[in-house]
Structure 1
Amino acid sequence: MLIHVISGRRIKVVCETSYSASSGPAEQSSQRSRSKVTILLLEMRATLYWIPLWSLLLVGIAADISDCDFFDTVDLTHSFKFANGSYRYEDLIIPARLTGEYDYKILDGGTREEVSRHVRGCICKLRPCIRLCCHHKKLMSSTECSEEVDEGLTYNYALNITLPNGNVTEKYIMNDMIVQQDLPMPCQIHYHLDAEQYAEDKWTLFENSTLLRHYDNAFLYKQDYCLQPTKSKSGEGYSVVPYNCVIQPSMTMAYVKLASVVFMAMTIGIYSWLPLFHTVHGQCCILYFVSLMATFLLNVASTFGVFVNDLMCLVNGYAGYYAAMATFLWLSVISFDVWRRFGLHQNREFCRSMGYRFLHYNLIVWSIAGILTLGVLVVDLLFPYSGDSDSNFVPAVGVTSCWIMTDGWSGMFYFYGPIFLLILMNGVMFYLTIRNIRAEKKLRTKVIRKCDEKETSRLSANFGLYVYLFVIMGGCWILEIMAFICETKKFLMPFTKANDLINCSQGIIIFLLTICNKEVLKTIRDRIQPKRTSGIEFETCTMTQDCHLMHQLS
């Protein structure tokens, strides 16, 4: 009997150990060969049995360090390893429990890339860490680290660190902290916060490596930024500044605006097709929709980065501002036109002047929008944006986006201020219109002509729709101003998000209000399938056609 031991486990192997005397040498040799083959097969079988178990053990060894973020580790490939499994990194000893084998690295956006297996240590649990974008003797070239190490590069290695108790202390990063300079770049596109030149670029660095970006009160973690020296404002020395990722705007509202553009295009097409809207008021509404659609299209193009060229970005910014101002001016013209027809005493001269009103409205709207845009352009040319407190009232088109800078008071002065004045004027005209209509109803004592009676009945019915549309088309812009104030003061943020959704959905809302009702749908049906008339002539008058504001809501 032969006893074979494999990996501590005793395996009993039965084989022939005695041979009959009659067996010749050849037969005995054959029997011994078969025994050896049997033993070899049993050894291979036992080895295959233990392979899965050893694999599990190896996986356990190569697993990530428990309760340790990847960005809190350093590469220990070139560090000295002690017999007990601990490593020496600079002047610190990293115990074995804070080490582990990694076969990946984390790239921007949290994606993983497979790399050669190497040992990393969770050193940030032993001493505060500071993350550099690249080697501390390199500079950033565009969005990448320079290739050459500049041994002669000197700069101030001291940084103000905010402690957990709120106190601020100065630490020399090369001595008092662990410098991590082998981590991948946070993102592909980034910019540095230069608090020396720009007041809004101030930042605060905490002891746990969290960075507070002041202009939007955002807390950035090590996977979101890195530090690296850059030239100071004077150009003589260097200072350490954080490089953080460019804030990518949410695409949700851009897609909602695209949907609004589609619905506005359908609304414009139906307005142009139906004779019901071939009036001065209808033409003003069409130009309002066109201006709003152009504003949305330019904004969406800027969001998707269509205009990558600086010149095209400027053109997009000024054209978008022009379209936005024209949008609100046309809304004011619509309110004025309704007030003039409802609030003023109707006479024959008013009816005769309708042919010139639309021309006058066009001259006023496009001229005022052009003057406002020219003013913004002149201010940008005469007072270039510098980033200090004196630049708070500069439009700064194309500096941070292909639009005027709406983060500070410049947005209120050049955009929200004019909007507020126009909406205030609309509110006054709306109030005067209601007051005059009520007064005329009370003072009317004599019988009016049949045409005037039909006109008054239709206008009274449609005025309810005008009130509804004014709340939607003018009221939502009041919400926009309120949302701007809330965003500036950093409160009621859910309200600002809801307001963004409402404003971006204006094209859809306008389509549902103006097209999806019984009167217009009936008109569309009759337009497609005209009914035969019995020769009856309907009494009409010019005033009635032009004063048909919209259609009745059922």
Structure 2
Amino acid sequence: MFNAFNLKSQLLSVLLWLLLPFFMNVRPLAAATPTYPCPYAQTVNISDGLRLKDGSYSYAGLLIPANMTAQYNFKVIDGILSSAPSHTRGCACLQRPCITFCCPPGQLFDEYKHACLPHASTLSAQQQSAQYTHIEVSDVNGGLKVVNISDMFVMRFEAGCSRKYIDKSDASFWKWDLYANGSLSSLGRIWDTDQYCLTPLEHKKVWSLVPLTCERSAHGFRLWIYAICLFMAILIYGFILLTLVSIKAVRNGGYGESLIFHLASTIIGLSALTYLAFRSRLELSETACRNIGFIAYVFLIFSFFLLTIISWNFWYNFKTRRLSSWKRKLIYMFAFGLAVGLRFLLKFIQDSDIYQPLKPGIGDAFCWFDVRLWGILLYFYVPILICLAFGMLLYLKTYLLIWNLPEDVINVAGYDIKLIKAHFFAFFGYLLGVTCVWLRELFVYLTFRWRGQYYIIDFITGVCVFGLSVAGLIFLLYKNPLVRAWWHVNVTFYLPYRAEERTENGVYLTQIYHTDQERTDKLKEGYKHEIKEEDLALK
């Protein structure tokens, strides 16, 4: 007899066994991750500032408290983290508005090489220095006033993005307005401090200060591989979903119904991640960024809950019990409610004063989890690992039940034994693939954390998800007897090149559909309405 306490104990043992090798090599949370007191966009490199005895910094006429500084070993380009030499950054932009320059004094942005180089001979050092002294600022009434930059702003020298939009022939490119809060109006929109950088450019033999924006920056090949693989996976999952929905015998059964919900949830979650891959954090409002990230989280977590429900349903059936449809739907509602509850828990943690490394980071510097923090491990990978471990444990228990079944059993909980066993073993192949992919994700995350490296988009993840969708095509469609039988009756019969002989498993397919030659002839002639539904699907 199944014992809930024993199941929990075994599940805990499995989790500890899986996680022990990782945690033996991972430093404590407090020591592994520094505290970042404010978003990266509001920080300035203050390594050249004067550090005082109490840990605070004197920089650009400001006194930055010690609790508003942190050590950074990365930089943000195109909204993506990349490695950088360790340096100190402070939240100077919280004390005084910041404006961003592409290059530090003594260097000039080269529009062809897209890099900062020593100033050109046509622009003297004195002329270039003047570009960083005064600037025109627009007031609320539309008037302009010339101000000393150092008196009104803190100067940031950041690249911002790898490729910047430069079009000297566009008259609107040279028209811009800087406001007192550091934001800038150009090309028909308002840009925040971290969305532009100012640099001198020559136009009609006159050097002018102009902002370069990241509006039309190019995406790297890794991002394209990641996005294309996710998009292809979504298409494959969509094909599987539409096929299962088209077959009444599948969508009315517990196994098929759960698969349909799982596939739909997976498609929504992957679609949200694909959208975020092409939209920089700078291009979305804080509300939109956070909501899309939470949508991806809710539906991806729900999809893993459904995998566990399917595993549990197999175990329940082989205990010679059958779950009624309304009870099954209550379980779906509870699982979805739990996923939504986790979403609100994440929002509460994100907005609370909890220790920064324990926050998820969704909607802050990134629209998805911030991999610099431990939130993605605690609130995403661990729930997934629990679901998969629980599902695999139920699979082992179900397999033992199948092993101990008498050989003369032909029916289990009202289902044909051959059919339910075919579903069971096919689903295990898919579940095993899901487990391998997400264990790989967890291993990569912990490995990068141990090395002190960070990544946002791992293009191999896209390749793995695409491979998983192909596995779903094989195990959820091709290995499903009901799908093959439906295809055999509704598609294969009408192919002009079909041979008269049945396929190798034609006898088994005929048993499933309870069709004899007379009914087959009627199907060919189009008299499907004369065949009762129970003749076309298992009860």
TM-score, normalised to structure 2, is 0.52
Please name the residue that 2:304 is paired with: 328
Paired residues of 1:263 and 1:507 also in contact (CA < 8 A): yes
Please name the residue that 2:11 is paired with: none
Paired residues of 1:393 and 1:409 also in contact (CA < 8 A): yes
Q: What does residue range 427-446 of structure 1 map to in structure 2 within 5 Å?
A: 427-438=392-403, 440-441=404-405, 444=406
Counterpart of 1:482, as a letter, is F
In the TM superposition, what whole-angstrom CA distance separates every residue of 1:182-201 from its partner, at most 9, and x where no partner exists?
x9996549xxxxxxxxxxxx
Offset at 1:361? 2.1
Paired residues of 1:108 and 1:185 also in contact (CA < 8 A): no
CA shift in 2, pair 1:139/1:430, >3 Å: farther
Please name the residue that 1:534 is paired with: 518
* Residue of 243, 267, 282 corresponding to 2:240: 267
Offset at 1:263? 1.4
Asked if residue 302 in structure 1 is aligned to residue 276 in structure 2, the reply is yes
Paired residues of 1:383 and 1:394 also in contact (CA < 8 A): no
Distance in 1 of aligned mates of 2:416 and 2:439: 32
Asked if residue 341 in structure 1 is aligned to residue 317 in structure 2, the reply is yes
Distance in 1 of aligned mates of 2:310 and 2:413: 22
* Residue of 423, 434, 439 corresponding to 1:473: 434
In the TM superposition, what whole-angstrom CA distance separates every residue of 1:138-181 from its partner, at most 9, and x where no partner exists?
68999xxx995627659999xxxxxxxxxxxxxxxxxxxxxx99
Distance in 2 of aligned mates of 1:331 and 1:155: 54
Distance in 1 of aligned mates of 2:353 and 2:276: 24
Please name the residue that 2:110 is paired with: 106
Asked if residue 256 in structure 1 is aligned to residue 217 in structure 2, the reply is no
Higher relative contact order (CA 8 A, sep 6+): 2
CA shift in 2, pair 1:477/1:138, >3 Å: farther
Distance in 2 of aligned mates of 1:476 and 1:483: 11
Please name the residue that 2:353 is paired with: 383
In the TM superposition, what whole-angstrom CA distance separates every residue of 1:285-328 from its partner, at most 9, and x where no partner exists?
01000111000111111122287222211211221111121111
Counterpart of 1:426, as a letter, is G
Distance in 2 of aligned mates of 1:154 and 1:309: 27
**Identity rate, percent:** 12
Offset at 1:380? 2.2
Please name the residue that 2:385 is paired with: 420
Question: SS where residue 477 of structure 1 aligns?
Answer: helix
Asked if residue 484 in structure 1 is aligned to residue 449 in structure 2, the reply is no
In the TM superposition, what whole-angstrom CA distance separates every residue of 1:495-538 from its partner, at most 9, and x where no partner exists?
96544420244334312433346953452241245887536999
Distance in 1 of aligned mates of 2:326 and 2:344: 27
Counterpart of 1:473, as a letter, is V
Q: Larger Rg: 1 or 2?
A: 1
Please name the residue that 1:291 is paired with: 265
Number of residue-to-residue matches in the alignment: 339
Distance in 2 of aligned mates of 1:226 and 1:422: 46
Paired residues of 2:230 and 2:274 also in contact (CA < 8 A): yes
Distance in 1 of aligned mates of 2:359 and 2:335: 24
Offset at 1:465? 1.8
* Residue of 394, 405, 425 corresponding to 1:464: 425
Question: SS where residue 392 of structure 1 aligns?
Answer: helix
Please name the residue that 1:78 is paired with: none
CA shift in 2, pair 1:505/1:492, >3 Å: farther
Offset at 1:376? 0.8
Paired residues of 2:430 and 2:471 also in contact (CA < 8 A): no
Distance in 1 of aligned mates of 2:399 and 2:292: 40
Paired residues of 2:114 and 2:162 also in contact (CA < 8 A): no
In the TM superposition, what whole-angstrom CA distance separates every residue of 1:77-128 from its partner, at most 9, and x where no partner exists?
xxxxxxxxxxxxxxx9xxxxxxxxxxx983277499xxxxx7479x9xxxxx
Please name the residue that 2:497 is paired with: none
Distance in 2 of aligned mates of 1:185 and 1:140: 24
Distance in 2 of aligned mates of 1:451 and 1:185: 61
Counterpart of 1:409, as a letter, is W
Please name the residue that 1:392 is paired with: 357
Question: SS where residue 148 of structure 2 aligns?
Answer: coil
Q: Which segments of 5 or more consecutive residues in structure 1 lack a partner in the other structure? A: 1-91, 93-103, 113-117, 124-131, 158-179, 190-224, 229-242, 385-389, 547-554
Paired residues of 1:108 and 1:188 also in contact (CA < 8 A): no
In the TM superposition, what whole-angstrom CA distance separates every residue of 1:419-439 from its partner, at most 9, and x where no partner exists?
12112211211221222222x
Q: What does residue range 87-486 of structure 1 map to in structure 2 within 5 Å?
A: 106-107=110-111, 110=114, 119=121, 135-137=131-133, 150=148, 153=151, 187-188=163-164, 250-278=223-251, 279-305=253-279, 308-342=284-318, 344=319, 346=320, 350-351=321-322, 353-383=323-353, 390-438=355-403, 440-441=404-405, 444=406, 447-448=408-409, 455-486=416-447
Offset at 1:463? 3.5
Distance in 2 of aligned mates of 1:185 and 1:485: 28
Q: What does residue range 5-44 of structure 1 map to in structure 2 within 5 Å?
A: none
In the TM superposition, what whole-angstrom CA distance separates every residue of 1:214-270 from its partner, at most 9, and x where no partner exists?
xxxxxxxxxxx9999xxxxxxxxxxxxxx9999967122112111111111111110
Counterpart of 2:148, as a letter, is D
Paired residues of 2:478 and 2:484 also in contact (CA < 8 A): yes
CA shift in 2, pair 1:463/1:396, >3 Å: closer
Q: Which segments of 5 or more consecutive residues in structure 2 lack a partner in the other structure? A: 1-105, 139-143, 166-195, 200-211, 495-514, 521-530
Paired residues of 1:268 and 1:286 also in contact (CA < 8 A): yes
Question: SS where residue 395 of structure 1 aligns?
Answer: coil
RMSD after superposition: 5.0
CA shift in 2, pair 1:518/1:509, >3 Å: closer
Distance in 1 of aligned mates of 2:293 and 2:399: 38
Distance in 1 of aligned mates of 2:236 and 2:255: 20
TM-score, normalised to structure 1, is 0.50
Distance in 2 of aligned mates of 1:270 and 1:451: 26
Distance in 1 of aligned mates of 2:464 and 2:490: 32
Distance in 2 of aligned mates of 1:437 and 1:133: 81
In the TM superposition, what whole-angstrom CA distance separates every residue of 1:48-84 from its partner, at most 9, and x where no partner exists?
xxxxxxxxxxxxxxxxxxxxxxxxxxxxxxxxxxxxx
Paired residues of 1:486 and 1:496 also in contact (CA < 8 A): no
Distance in 1 of aligned mates of 2:267 and 2:343: 18
CA shift in 2, pair 1:397/1:379, >3 Å: same
Offset at 1:375? 0.6
In the TM superposition, what whole-angstrom CA distance separates every residue of 1:404-456 from its partner, at most 9, and x where no partner exists?
32332111111112112112211211221222222x14xx37x5467899933
Counterpart of 2:300, as a letter, is A
Counterpart of 2:347, as a letter, is L
Distance in 2 of aligned mates of 1:184 and 1:380: 25
Distance in 1 of aligned mates of 2:348 and 2:411: 56
Distance in 1 of aligned mates of 2:145 and 2:411: 88
Distance in 1 of aligned mates of 2:464 and 2:432: 12
CA shift in 2, pair 1:376/1:436, >3 Å: same
